[in-house]
Amino acid sequence: MIKVTKLTKDYGARRAIDNLTFRAQRGEIIGFLGPNGAGKTTTMRILSGYMPPTSGKAEIGGFDVVDQSLEVRKIVGYLPETVPLYNDMTVFEFLKYKADLHHIPDAEDRVDEVLEMIDLIDRSEGYIAALSKGMRQRVGIAQALLHKPEVLILDEPTIGLDPAQIIEVRNLIKRIGKERTIMLSTHILSEAQQVCDRVLIINKGHIVAEDTPQHLQSRLTGSQRVELKLRKNAEDAIPLIKKVKGVTSVTAHDDDSIEFEMSANQDARPSVAKAVVQGGFELLEMKQNALSLEDIFLELTRDDTPAPALKDRD
């Protein structure tokens, strides 16, 4: 559904995105994860038909975003990061305007339908200037949905929303995502984890990782980490733990806990527990830390280091 090949965009001397290549199938929800300035918004603007790339190709639904921009815009619903709305229009007027621009028949009914979907039907006669941030966000999503687009491109759709609203929006996205292709950008990692089928991590204009959230986790951790809590004198236990077969490294943390890494094919936990207890230490807690997407993200987007090599899946 979305085909991007060697997409590059330069703003004068600055290269914002560099030879991006990726695909999204129909019905997939893909997440674009990256720090600010990574190139997420630029990519989305190109895909939504707003601006052309400097080089490379992008196709949505088989239409080229440059040569068939109008066709692309007909099947794409786009929510810009800034959620630009006309403050001096009412919610209804604004959505009707957008519906008219899309030549939607029975526009008024459709607007009411969408207003129901985002639960703003009772604010439809109110001015947009009077809406809260969360409501503005919902209106922004609504205008992207009006023409029942096959592809939704949402730039940071949950930013600024309160936790309850975030859940609502995510559920909405998941519901819509069943029949449509959605591409969203975020820097809320748990969101990418929960909502997306696949995640693309982008940094400085390059894609540094691309996979399902689960696979990304297992790919990056060649080893697994376990956290230990001992009653006292935690550091003294370190040499003991190091000796256990399968333990690759041990570190002490400020909160009196010890973290050790063990290789993936050997569960050293029982041996460590035995060694610690037999050594006279009181074991309070042993917990396995899965490498969170946040760790992966930080690891991959650390400033000057080039992207670390990811181990291929076996």
Partner 1 sequence: MRNIWTIAKRELHLLFIGPIAYITLIVFLLTLGIFFYIELNYAIQSQSYIPSMGTTFQLIAFPLLFLAVPAITMRSIAEEKRTGTLEFLLTAPVRDWELVIGKWLGGFLFFVIALSVTFVYPLILNILVDPGIDMGAVLVGYLGLLLIASCMVAIGIAISALVPNQIAALFATLGVIIIFWILSSPAQYMQGLWSEILLNMSLTNHLYDTFLAGVIDLKDVLYYISFTVFALFIGKTAVEIRRWG
* Least distance CB 106 / partner 1 (angstroms): 15
Assess 265 for contact with partner 1 (CB under 8 A). no
Question: Mask: binding to partner 1, 139-178, rule CB under 8 A, as x and -?
Answer: ----x-----------------------------------
How many residues bind partner 1, per CB under 8 A? 28
Among 101, 167, 284, 298, binds partner 1 (CB under 8 A): 101
Of 78-86, 116-124, 206-214, 282-290, which part binds partner 1 (CB under 8 A)?
A: 78-86
Nearer to partner 1, 159 or 273 (CB): 159
Among 62, 84, 239, 280, binds partner 1 (CB under 8 A): 84
Question: Mask: binding to partner 1, 27-46, rule CB under 8 A, as x and -?
Answer: ------------------x-
Assess 180 for contact with partner 1 (CB under 8 A). no
Assess 97 for contact with partner 1 (CB under 8 A). yes
Among 78, 92, 281, 297, binds partner 1 (CB under 8 A): 78
What is the SS3 string spanning the chain? CEEEEEEEEEECCEEEEEEEEEEECCCCEEEEECCCCCCHHHHHHHHCCCCCCCEEEEEECCEECCCCHHHHHHHEEEECCCCCCCCCCEHHHHHHHHHHHCCCCCHHHHHHHHHHHCCCHHHCCCEHHHCCHHHHHHHHHHHHHCCCCCEEEEECCCCCCCHHHHHHHHHHHHHHHCCCEEEEEECCHHHHHHHCCEEEEEECCEEEEEECHHHHHHHHCCEEEEEEEECCCHHHHHHHHHHCCCEEEEEECCCCEEEEEEECCCCCHHHHHHHHHHCCCCEEEEEEECCCHHHHHHHHCCCCCCCCCCCCCC
Among 67, 100, 116, 162, binds partner 1 (CB under 8 A): 100
Return residues touching partner 1 (CB under 8 A): 9, 11, 45, 48-52, 70, 73-74, 76, 78, 80, 82, 84-89, 97-98, 100-103, 143
